[in-house]
């Protein structure tokens, strides 16, 4: 039987050579059976015609000669090295020594981000933005870090234009003066970003004095108007109350993402100050919010509530009734209220609810309590816009009552929610756009004044009353640009340059006799000087009317969903949308890159039929949704199921969906500003329906939970305070001769170790309690180490090149501790199959933890032993070296790395049109750090622990002939970390901070059990969650 | 490597030849100089007689005090001083030289005129000069401009050199003749002896016809095999040697846009390398000096008056021409002694090119280690045309790091680590390799 069937099969087995063979009586198949080719090759036509052949000037012999000559020439040419030209300065500037970096203190104030920074320049090119340590508490977030790349954006405007034609500045000046003099009786609005600049305010005043028909209106693309209105009503001047969360013991945030961009952001430094469990005391942080935010991820208690419920929560917290709240929320509110009351002056409430009433209620509450965390005397001045005024401008342009509009640093055609604005704008009598790019507004404006980047400009900022900063140019303007202030000086017939004007203003009004040069060198200046309020503040009447509209208890939710618009950590208000570093930076929460998306809770997704699923290569796919509010619809918005999203609420990031002055690859996402009605981030009555198609996400993390594994160690303050370290931070044990010994014991070790007690031995410590997940270190690492951008398609294939990633984990149960319990209690095959699968699913309201992971620089590195060419080897200083020129790209090391931190260059990312990002144009390449090699295709790369920086520190000390002090050694990530979560140093210096960290009870190594003995250590996360 | 050595041999041979030529030509220079000096001195004596000053003493004073800003026949920072005594009153000159600003302030028309003409640059006051000194200087200023002697071409024929070659040839010829005679004589003697032997009936053996060596060799397979192996090995050795020097640019001496002679600057004038390559002390780059550094000296030095190398066409005119190229690049107008602002940056051809993946820091070697520039760059002070002296290969770097001891004296950075490490290795002095200087990541990142 068997035999026959086998034979039978054998005889019938048929192999197809093409699909064509499936068709019966296919003429092609028949022909092919007879002939080699389907059609006859016209050899006869070609060779048979002797005349043509003879007429050809190239004979066969000639042809062979050419081939021979070309080959010989090519091989000869290859023997000769290229001639490299070296062109020195004709007159070298005194301060530039080729090969030595210069640092200049400066300040950024782009209307969304305000910070005091230090600019690192090499041979006159700014290449990196760093902290200015003189500016206490100032944060340099990822967008500010990345702003240096926006300087070298090839899509920048290179010259001013009039009606789309290149013009000279003289033409612009003449045109403006002529137009302005014709329009003396017509209303002209100067619509600007918040400058927070004393000198610019003064200049604008002078401009308005000359042209009284001009009205100055401040427009913040992402508004904090209600908070400023509330502050103005209560304290008389316009500003935003400042908070120092380091002084608070109980922090209750109702919809305020203060670790993100709430009211200008930058609160994490203070917040972390009181989150150090060392003294047995930490602040306690309640977060009531709809979207999962950084603040919610870091909170001790996070309660998902919809925006409508948030109003009720705030009402209950400030003394109102609890009615209308679900029981679990009410319970949390009661707890929060009790703790707030107990904390007394050390409690503080903040809110992100965009109504004047809610903001007033918070101010009143904190004020009445005497909260020490709130500073109302020195308000922040970084977001001064008023919704009513901006709306009036929008409507005025649409109705035609406003005849002229000068926009500075804002892009209203893109960001105004009313689609009719664009058409109306085109028909204005006068439209001047000051812009760095030909954005949506500039492309319609009659005159476009190309402005320089802040790194090419002079300027000043006053971020907070009394805290001043100076901006100085660090490079000559790359293009024919002129800054707004310089134009105002020209238009007011002032012969001074802006530098002279700025200096004079500072010397007369701010410095009070102090040295200008010193202030410029420091970049920051603190003074209690009272500046005359020059900014045109909205009158209180305007505020009153605005308030009546936005009473606290709107609760106008009638079915549908509530949408909370937010800004992503990477993109902010979208000014830097053409910045590939930011596009490729994973969102700290969703870990998605190159996109904005609708965040939906799992329950709502199930109801609406949305799904997220992973495809064969692991990449994430998701459904599309159509969102409509009133008559505005956004079609095909990708849906991302977000654990922790409050049921009945959805979230969508602003700043995406740009189409102007942005290269094709970076035209990502949808424009959520079209839903930003009344400049209120909460949009009610949103109807959402499933749309056709499947969206392909580029998400860098595909495993969302730890499944009870020992990756991030976390404990509660209570356990931390009361139990021994071995309970909450146990050393993994191995069995040797039936004896349990710690894995770090020499007996459990097969390896001979180097003697590391001599010289430097570098260690990096990451405090998981202090890490908020902000991602500034990721961008700092890109800038320092020339990390290439690979684009969305490659990201989707998990081929990202980030040397430093911040893993985000959700708990599967209520908390990570519950995950452990669940895993430990699994028994039996059936249970393990089902329960492990359950552990893969994130909880509805999970705990969230962040873990920055870079090369762990293992002393017993698995990668080093498997490299066949010894391209990766260990240095005595603890660094795991990677010699790119030796690497042949076997990728054995990456396969053998338990931490998955090695990155392979699948392609050439520099000068390759397939990867048309900053490394593909001369301008973008100016940002490269000349001390670090740009890697080529086919080699492995990874974190070097910034060996170029440690080597420089050592060399500087050698040259000066002095020992190195603690704190001198730095890496890009450690110096970018504003909360001090990342600490770097030499552990052989026993007086150093890093040595202290190695001895800390909280210290552990990632995957200690595998015995790699890393030089990167983590400090156990401690959360102030009370068991109850 | 072998080829490299051969190349070195070649270059040494050529150097030797060059040296030979130079020895001949230098005598010629010396004679010329003497010839030039003679009329000058004669003229000076005449002047001394005329003006009552000592031009020889004046020359010394002029070089010490005036030469920084004045030239005899050309305009420099200040006016040319040739026969300046005829232009102004002697008393006025005394006053001007001792303190020119006083005269200007007093409103002396001549003084103000010259002050304005020379861009209001203040002439240093020389109160220390006596009237007699000034007379001496003025006497020197009457030295007439030497008439440029026509450039002679190379070493002249005849002379001692020619004689020696001739005698050598004669000796050689006679020696050859003697040898030839000897050979003929020997042949004749052998012939005579054979004849005598035949006559006496002595029989001598006929040689047996042996197979030729070549045939024997071909038949011996073992020998063929061994020879083939040896040949292959030999050619592989040479091929390896040749291939190892591919991409090495030792001896690379490109033609530069301005013929800059390190021999003149670092050799004859003994200018410290770091004076121009100042960033070598504090940066990773030694840096090609910017042109304003050149102008520090060349504002005054606008012509070359040093030795010439006629063999290669490096005449005074040639060098002066190169200085003019500098002026053109930097935009210096000699007639007005001012910058025109028209700059034409010089595109030097880079000689030392490390690959991008190797990090090298000059300051580490120059400042910290105190390595002489010549250690890696060779005898730069003898290089008329700069060339790459060292191979700049990784093996070359590593060798030096293995062999060189770290000089740690007076450097507190090393104090502790050196003590501990020398205890560990049981040595007094540590090599760079022992300090960790061979680790990949120290140079590759």
Residue B355 is predicted with a pLDDT of: 87
In a domain, B320, yes or no: no
A1017 and A920 in a common domain: yes
DSSP one-letter code for A606: H
Amino acid B21: pLDDT: 46
Chain-chain contact of B279 with A873 (C-beta, under 8 angstroms): no
Q: Which of A608, A822, A802 is nearest to A705 (CA)?
A: A822
pLDDT above 60 (res A898): yes
Is residue B175 in some structural domain?
A: no
Kindly determine whether residue B412 and residue A879, on different chains, have CB atoms separated by under 8 Å: no
Is the CB of A944 less than 8 angstroms away from the CB of B441?
Answer: yes
Q: Torsions phi, psi of B339, nearest 5?
A: -85, 135
Put simply, whether B419 touches A (Cβ < 8 Å) is no
Q: Which residues of A touch B257 (CB under 8 A)?
A: none
Q: Which of A355, A379, A403 is the last residue of a domain?
A: A379
Q: Is the pLDDT of residue A935 over 90?
A: yes
DSSP strands (E only) in A136-283: 161-162, 165-166, 187-192, 214-218, 240-243, 250-254
Q: Check whether residue A369 and residue A296 sit in a common domain.
A: yes
- Pair (A847, A878) in one structural domain: yes
Same domain, A636 and A757: no
Cα end-to-end distance, chain B, whole Å: 29
Check if A98 contacts B (Cβ < 8 Å).
yes
Q: Are residues B107 and B237 in the same domain?
A: no
Positions in chain B whose pLDDT score sits under 70: 1-52, 146-166, 203-208
Residue B122 has a pLDDT of: 80
Angle at B373 between CA B372 and CA B376, to 5 degrees: 105
The answer to whether A351 and A362 are in contact (CB under 8 A) is yes
B222 and B121 together in one domain: no
**CATH classification at residue A314:** 3.40.228.10
* Contact assessment for residue A942 and residue A803, using Cβ atoms and an 8 Å cutoff: yes
A687-736 pLDDT tens trace: 999 999 999 999 998 888 888 888 999 899 988 988 888 888 989 898 88
Beta-strand ranges (E) seen in A822-926 are 848-853, 872-874, 880-882, 903-904
Q: Which residue of A has its CA nearest to B348?
A: A86
Whether residue A461 lies inside any domain: the answer is no
Residue A28 belongs to a domain: yes
Question: Is A901 inside a domain boundary?
Answer: yes
Q: Does the residue B218 lie in any domain?
A: yes
Nearest to A347, CA basis, from A323, A318, A325, A381: A318
CA dihedral A148, A974, A956, B408 (to 10 degrees): -160
Assess if residue B309 is contained within a domain. no
Rounded to an integer, what distance in angstroms lies between the CA atom of residue A222 and that of residue A219? Answer: 9
Nearest chain A CA: its distance from B187 CA (Å)? 56
A942, closest residue in chain B (CA to CA) = B445
Percent of chain A's residues with pLDDT above 70: 93
Residues in chain B within 8 Å Cβ distance of A877: 436
CATH code for the domain in which residue B83 is found: 1.10.760.10
Q: Are residues A743 and A695 in the same domain?
A: no
Full-model pTM: 0.81
pLDDT digits (tens, 9 = 90+) for A415-471: 999 888 999 999 888 999 999 999 999 999 999 999 999 999 999 999 988 899 999
Please report whether residue B321 resides in a domain: no
Residue B173 belongs to a domain = no
Q: Identify which of A510, A497, A500 has the alpha carbon closest to the alpha carbon of residue A468.
A: A510
Give the dihedral sign, CA B53/B54/B60/B63. Answer: positive
Which is more confident, B134 or A42?
B134
Contact A963 B350 (CB under 8 A): no
The total domain count for chain B is 3
Higher model confidence: residue A379 or residue A1028?
A379
Query: Distance (Å, rounded) from C-alpha A329 to C-alpha A323?
Result: 11
Residue at B78 is within a domain:
yes
Q: How many structural domains are present in chain A?
A: 4
Does one domain contain both A887 and A790? yes
Q: Are strands A632-641 and A698-699 parallel, antiparallel or unpaired?
A: unpaired
Q: Residues 962-1001, chain A: which have Cβ within 8 Å of B?
A: 962-964
Give the residue on B whose Cα is nearest the Cα of A871. B440
Same domain assignment for residues B11 and B101 = yes
How much is the ipTM here?
Answer: 0.82
Confidence class for position A533, pLDDT limits 50, 70, 90: low
A74-121 per-position pLDDT tens digit: 876 666 678 899 999 998 888 889 999 999 999 999 989 999 999 999
Q: Is position B441 within any domain? A: yes
Q: Is residue A917 part of a domain?
A: yes
Residues B220 and B95 in one domain: no
Domain boundary among B118, B141, B164: B141
**Structural domain boundaries enclosing B116:** 2-141
Interchain contact, B411 vs A951, CB within 8 Å:
no
Q: B284 in contact with A at a CB cutoff of 8 Å?
A: yes
Region A475-483: mean pLDDT is 93
Supply the CATH number for residue A788's domain: 3.30.70.20
User: Secondary structure of A218-242 in the HEC alphabet?
Assistant: ECCCCCCHHHHHHHHHHHCCCCEEE
- Tens of pLDDT, residues A144-203: 999 999 999 999 999 999 998 999 999 999 999 888 888 888 889 999 999 999 999 999
Task: Please report the DSSP string for A345-366 in residue order.
Answer: GGEEEEE----HHHHHHHHHHH
Domain boundary among A322, A354, A379: A379
Residue A883 is given by DSSP the state: -
pLDDT higher than threshold 90 for residue A758:
no
Q: Residue A444: which of A414, A471, A418, A474 has the closest Cα?
A: A414
Domain containing A339: what range? 240-379
Q: Are strands A682-696 and A592-593 parallel, antiparallel or unpaired?
A: unpaired
Mean pLDDT of chain A: 88
Scan residues 348-367 of B and list those with Cβ closer than 8 Å to A: 348-350, 353, 355-359, 361, 363-364, 367
Contacts of B343 in chain A (CB under 8 A): 90-91
Q: Could you tell me which residues are beta bridge partners of residue A190?
A: A216, A406
Last residue of a domain, one of B141, B162, B181: B141
Q: Looking at the structure, do residues A637 and A733 belong to the same domain, yes or no? A: no
More confident residue, A538 or A446: A446
A31 against A602, higher pLDDT: A602
8 Å CB contact between A598 and A689? no
Q: How far is residue A839's CA from residue A820's CA, in Å, rounded to a whole number? A: 10
Are residues A596 and A721 both part of a single domain? no
pLDDT of residue B25: 44
The torsion of the CA quartet A279, A284, A285, A288, rounded to 10 degrees, works out to: 170
Partner A contacted by B243 (CB < 8 A): no
Q: How far, rounded to the nearest angstrom, does the alpha carbon of residue A644 sit from its chain's CA centroid?
A: 21
Q: Is residue A119 part of a domain?
A: no
User: Could you tell me if A933 lies within 8 Å of chain B, comparing CB atoms?
Assistant: yes
Q: ∠ at Cα A789 (A788, A791), nearest 5°?
A: 150
Cβ neighbour number for residue A549 with a 10 Å cutoff: 12
Can you spell out the DSSP letters for B238-290?
HHHHHHHTTT--TT--PPPSS---HIIIIIIS---HHHHSGGGGTSS---PPP
Which DSSP state fits A512?
A: T
Instruction: Copy the structure tokens of residue B298.
Output: 């060349």
Mutation site, A78, A754, A941, A958, interface B, largest B CB count within 10 A: A958
Model pLDDT, residue A143:
94
- A362, A379, A396 — which closes off a domain? A379
Q: Is residue A918 part of a domain?
A: yes
Query: Does the pLDDT of residue A1018 top 60, yes or no?
Result: yes
CA distance A167 to A446: 12
pLDDT of A551 over the 50 cut: no
- What CATH number corresponds to the domain at position A624? 2.40.40.20
Whose CA is closest to A357, among A554, A222, A219, A541?
Answer: A554
In terms of pLDDT, which residue wins out, B202 or A974?
Answer: A974
Residues A880 and A984 in one domain: yes
Domain final residue pick, B90, B111, B141: B141
Structural domain contains residue A453: no
What sections of A186-326 are H helices per DSSP? Answer: 198-210, 225-235, 268-273, 294-298, 307-317
B341 touches chain A (CB under 8 A): no
CB-defined contacts A:B, below 8 A: 155
In this structure, are A263 and A367 located in the same domain?
Answer: yes
Residue A227 and residue A240 in contact, taking contact as beta carbons nearer than 8 Å = yes
CA distance B230 to chain A (A): 29
What SS3 state is found at A617? coil
Q: What is the DSSP letter of A508?
A: I
- Lookup: tokens for A359: 């903001």
Any domain includes A464:
no
Q: Is A300 within 8 Å of A286 (Cβ atoms)? A: yes
Instruction: Give the gap in angstroms from C-alpha A1008 to the nearest C-alpha of chain B.
Output: 26
């Amino acid at each position: 039987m068997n035999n026959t069937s086998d034979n039978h099969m054998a005889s019938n087995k048929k192999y197809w050579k093409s699909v064509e063979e499936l068709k019966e009586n296919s003429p092609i198949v028949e022909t092919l059976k007879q002939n080699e080719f389907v059609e006859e090759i016209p050899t006869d036509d070609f060779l048979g015609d002797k005349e043509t052949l003879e007429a050809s000037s190239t004979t066969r012999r000639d042809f062979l000669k050419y081939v021979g000559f070309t080959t010989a020439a090519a091989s000869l040419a290859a023997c000769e090295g290229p001639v490299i030209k070296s062109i020195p300065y004709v007159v070298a500037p005194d301060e530039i020594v080729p090969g030595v970096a210069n640092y200049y203190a400066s300040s950024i104030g782009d209307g969304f981000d305000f910070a005091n920074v230090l600019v690192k320049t090499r041979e006159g090119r700014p290449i990196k933005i760093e902290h200015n340590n003189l500016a206490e508490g100032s944060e340099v977030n990822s967008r500010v870090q990345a702003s240096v790349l926006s300087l070298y954006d090839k899509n920048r405007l290179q010259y001013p234009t009039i009606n789309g034609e290149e013009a000279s500045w003289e033409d612009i000046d003449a045109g403006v003066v002529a137009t302005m003099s014709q329009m003396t009786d017509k209303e002209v609005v100067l619509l600007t970003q918040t400058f927070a600049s004393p000198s610019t305010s003064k200049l604008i005043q002078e401009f308005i004095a000359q042209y009284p028909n001009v009205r100055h209106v401040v427009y913040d693309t992402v508004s904090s108007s209600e908070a400023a209105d509330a502050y103005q009503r209560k304290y008389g001047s316009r500003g935003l109350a400042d908070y120092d969360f380091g002084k608070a013991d109980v922090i209750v945030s109702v919809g305020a993402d203060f670790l993100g961009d709430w009211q200008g952001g930058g609160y994490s430094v203070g917040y972390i100050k009181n989150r150090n469990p060392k003294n047995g005391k930490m602040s306690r942080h309640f977060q009531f919010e709809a979207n999962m935010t950084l603040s919610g991820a870091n909170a001790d208690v996070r309660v998902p509530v919809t925006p409508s419920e948030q109003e009720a929560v705030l009402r209950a917290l400030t003394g109102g009734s609890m009615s209308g709240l679900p029981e679990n929320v009410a319970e949390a509110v009661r707890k929060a209220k009790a703790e707030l009351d107990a904390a007394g002056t050390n409690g503080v409430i903040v809110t992100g609810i965009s109504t004047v009433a809610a903001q007033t209620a918070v101010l009143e509450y904190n004020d009445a309590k005497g909260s020490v965390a709130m500073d109302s005397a020195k308000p922040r001045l970084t977001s001064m816009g008023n919704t009513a005024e901006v709306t009036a401008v929008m409507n005025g342009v649409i109705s035609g009552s406003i005849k002229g509009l000068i926009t500075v640093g804002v892009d209203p055609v893109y960001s105004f929610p009313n689609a009719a604005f664009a058409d109306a704008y085109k028909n204005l009598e006068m439209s001047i756009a000051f812009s760095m790019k030909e954005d949506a507004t500039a492309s319609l404006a009659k005159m476009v004044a190309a402005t320089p980047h802040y790194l090419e400009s002079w300027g000043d900022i006053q971020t907070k009353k009394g805290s001043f900063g100076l901006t100085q140019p660090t490079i000559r303007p790359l293009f024919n640009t002129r800054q707004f202030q310089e134009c105002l000086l020209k238009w007011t017939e002032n012969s001074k340059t802006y530098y002279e004007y700025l200096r004079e203003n500072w010397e007369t009004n701010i410095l009070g006799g102090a040295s200008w040069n010193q202030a410029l060198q420091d970049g920051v200046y603190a003074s209690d000087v009272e500046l005359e309020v020059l900014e045109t503040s909205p009158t209180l009447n305007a505020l009153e009317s605005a308030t009546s509209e936005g009473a606290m208890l709107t609760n106008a939710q009638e079915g549908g969903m509530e949408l909370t618009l937010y800004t992503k950590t990477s993109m902010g208000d979208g000014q830097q949308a053409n910045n590939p570093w930011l596009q490729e930076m994973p969102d700290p929460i969703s870990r998605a890159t190159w996109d904005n998306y609708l965040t939906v809770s799992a329950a709502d997704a199930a109801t609406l039929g949305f799904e997220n699923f992973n495809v064969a290569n692991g990449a994430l796919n998701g459904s599309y949704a159509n969102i409509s509010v009133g008559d505005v619809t956004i079609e095909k918005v990708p849906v991302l199921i977000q654990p922790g999203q409050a049921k009945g609420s959805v979230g969508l990031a602003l700043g995406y969906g740009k189409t102007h002055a942005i290269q094709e690859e970076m035209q990502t996402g949808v424009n959520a500003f079209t839903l930003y009605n009344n400049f209120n981030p909460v949009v009610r009555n949103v109807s959402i329906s499933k749309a056709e198609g499947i969206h392909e996400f580029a998400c860098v993390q595909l495993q969302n939970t730890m499944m009870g594994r020992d990756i991030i160690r976390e404990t509660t303050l209570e356990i931390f305070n009361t139990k021994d370290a071995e309970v909450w931070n146990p050393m993994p044990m191995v069995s040797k001769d039936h004896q349990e010994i710690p894995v770090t014991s020499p007996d459990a070790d097969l390896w001979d170790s180097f003697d590391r007690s001599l010289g430097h031995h570098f260690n990096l410590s990451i405090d998981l309690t202090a890490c908020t997940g902000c991602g500034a270190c990721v961008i700092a690492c890109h800038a320092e180490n020339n990390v290439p951008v690979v684009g969305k398609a490659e990201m989707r294939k998990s081929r990202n090149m980030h040397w430093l990633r911040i893993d985000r984990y959700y708990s599967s149960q209520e908390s990570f501790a519950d995950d452990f319990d669940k895993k430990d209690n699994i028994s039996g095959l059936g249970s393990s199959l089902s329960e492990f699968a359950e552990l893969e699913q994130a909880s509805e309201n999970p705990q969230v933890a962040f873990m920055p992971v870079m090369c762990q620089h293992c002393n017993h590195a698995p990668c080093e032993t498997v490299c066949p060419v010894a391209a990766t080897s260990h240095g005595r200083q603890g660094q795991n070296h990677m010699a790119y020129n030796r690497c042949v790209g076997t990728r054995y090391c990456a396969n053998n790395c338990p931490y998955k931190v090695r990155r392979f260059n699948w392609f050439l990312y520099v000068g390759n049109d397939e990867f048309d990002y900053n490394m593909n144009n001369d301008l973008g390449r100016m940002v490269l750090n000349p001390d670090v090699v740009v890697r080529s295709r086919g080699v492995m790369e990874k974190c070097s622990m910034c060996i170029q920086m440690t080597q420089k520190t050592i060399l500087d000390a050698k040259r000066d002939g002095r020992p190195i002090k603690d704190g001198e050694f730095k890496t890009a990530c450690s110096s970018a970390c504003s909360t001090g979560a990342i600490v770097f140093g030499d552990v052989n210096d026993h007086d150093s901070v890093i040595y202290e960290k190695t001895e800390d009870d909280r210290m552990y190594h990632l995957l200690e059990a595998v015995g790699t003995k890393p030089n990167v250590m983590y400090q156990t996360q401690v959360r102030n969650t009370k068991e109850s | 490597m072998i080829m490299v050595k051969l190349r070195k041999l070649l270059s040494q041979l050529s150097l030797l030849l060059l040296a030979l030529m130079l020895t001949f030509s230098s005598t010629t220079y010396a004679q010329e100089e003497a010839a030039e000096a003679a009329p000058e001195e004669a003229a000076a004596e005449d002047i001394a007689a005329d003006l009552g000053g000592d031009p020889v003493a004046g020359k010394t004073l002029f070089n010490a005090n005036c030469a920084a800003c004045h030239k005899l026949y050309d305009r420099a920072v200040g006016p040319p001083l040739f026969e300046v005594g005829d232009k102004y009153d002697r008393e006025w000159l005394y006053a001007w030289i001792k303190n020119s600003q006083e005269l200007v302030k007093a409103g002396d028309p001549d003084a103000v005129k010259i002050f304005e003409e020379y861009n209001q640059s203040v002439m240093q006051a020389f109160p220390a000069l006596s009237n007699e000194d000034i007379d001496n200087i003025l006497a020197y200023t009457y030295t007439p401009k030497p008439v440029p002697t026509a450039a002679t071409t190379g070493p002249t024929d005849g002379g001692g050199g020619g004689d020696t070659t001739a005698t050598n040839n004669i000796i050689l010829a006679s020696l050859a003749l003697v040898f030839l005679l000897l050979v003929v004589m020997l042949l004749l003697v052998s012939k005579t002896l054979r004849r005598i032997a035949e006559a006496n009936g002595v029989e001598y053996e006929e040689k047996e016809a042996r197979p030729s060596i070549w045939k024997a060799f071909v038949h011996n397979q073992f020998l063929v095999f061994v020879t083939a192996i040896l040949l292959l090995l030999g050619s592989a050795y040479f091929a390896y040697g040749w291939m190892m020097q591919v991409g090495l640019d030792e001896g690379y001496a490109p033609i530069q846009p301005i013929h800059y002679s390190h021999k003149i600057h670092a050799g004859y004038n003994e200018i410290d390398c770091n004076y121009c390559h100042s960033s070598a002390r504090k940066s990773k780059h030694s840096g090609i000096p910017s042109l304003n550094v050149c102008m520090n000296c060349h504002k005054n030095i606008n012509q070359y008056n040093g030795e010439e190398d006629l063999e290669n066409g490096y005449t005074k005119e040639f060098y002066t021409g190169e200085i003019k190229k500098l002026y053109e690049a930097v935009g210096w107008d000699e007639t007005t002694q001012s910058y025109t602002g028209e700059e034409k940056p010089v595109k030097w051809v880079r000689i030392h090119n490390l690959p991008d993946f190797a990090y090298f820091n000059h300051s580490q070697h120059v400042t910290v280690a105190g390595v002489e520039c010549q250690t890696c760059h060779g005898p730069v002070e003898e290089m008329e045309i700069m060339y790459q002296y060292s191979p700049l290969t990784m093996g070359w770097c590593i060798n030096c790091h293995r062999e060189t001891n770290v000089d740690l004296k007076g450097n507190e950075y090393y104090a502790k680590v050196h003590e501990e490490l020398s205890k560990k290795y049981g040595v007094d002095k540590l090599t760079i390799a022992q300090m960790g200087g061979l680790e990949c990541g120290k140079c590759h990142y």
